[in-house]
Amino acid sequence: MNFRLLGAVAGGSVIESICDVDANTQAIEVGDFIVNDSTAGYGLFAPDGSSSSNVWLGLCSTESTHTTTADGIAYYQWHPTGIKVEGTVTTAANLALALIGTKVTLDVPSAAVQKIDENDTSSGVLFIARPPAGYTDFDTTDGLGVVVYAPCHQTHIA
């Protein structure tokens, strides 16, 4: 699991929707961000560098059912105000409280691993909100538990 859903940014219940997934594309698993393939309309595993230029659908809640030869589906969770998720940054040593309020991109440093790219602010979309619950600072050793706000269906986090 790459990210853990914490809820909607503005409170309330998240919405579960379904998207088609094209055959022979990367698997989408629970906790993966899904973006829209703008050319074919399918949901895709959000690739490295996903930013404000992508249409973010939400966070996968069931493993995609597609295969190498057949299209499938995936369920995902979203909210009009965006979703609050917890994840890991690429380089924990870069973390600092000064990053709170910064919009950054998604990093995929290896196959099927999505992380928060804490130092890429070009067209940033993931809003760094706070350290893990119960902590007053970020863990610069492992970078776990960083809370970000993510857009869904083209919502934009201010």
Q: Has residue 156 got a pLDDT over 50? A: no
pLDDT for the residue 153: 74
pLDDT for the residue 143: 79
Task: Please state the domain extents for the chain.
Answer: 4-78, 83-150
**Residue 134 three-state SS:** coil
> Among all chains, which residue has been given the structure tokens 């940033």?
124
Mean pLDDT score of the chain, rounded to an integer? 89
**Residue 98 three-state SS:** helix
What average pLDDT does the segment 83-102 reach? 91
User: Distance between CA atoms of 49 and 155, rounded to whole angstroms?
Assistant: 18
Q: Has residue 135 got a pLDDT over 90? A: no
145 pLDDT tier (thresholds 50, 70, 90)? confident
Phi, psi at 91, each rounded to 5° = -125, 100
User: Distance between CA atoms of 65 and 108, rounded to whole angstroms?
Assistant: 22
157 pLDDT tier (thresholds 50, 70, 90)? very low
Q: Is the pTM of this model over 0.75?
A: yes
Question: Is the alpha carbon torsion for 133, 92, 156, 35 positive or negative?
Answer: negative
Q: What percent of the chain has pLDDT over 90?
A: 65
pLDDT for the residue 154: 55
Specify the pairing of strand 43-45 against strand 146-150: unpaired
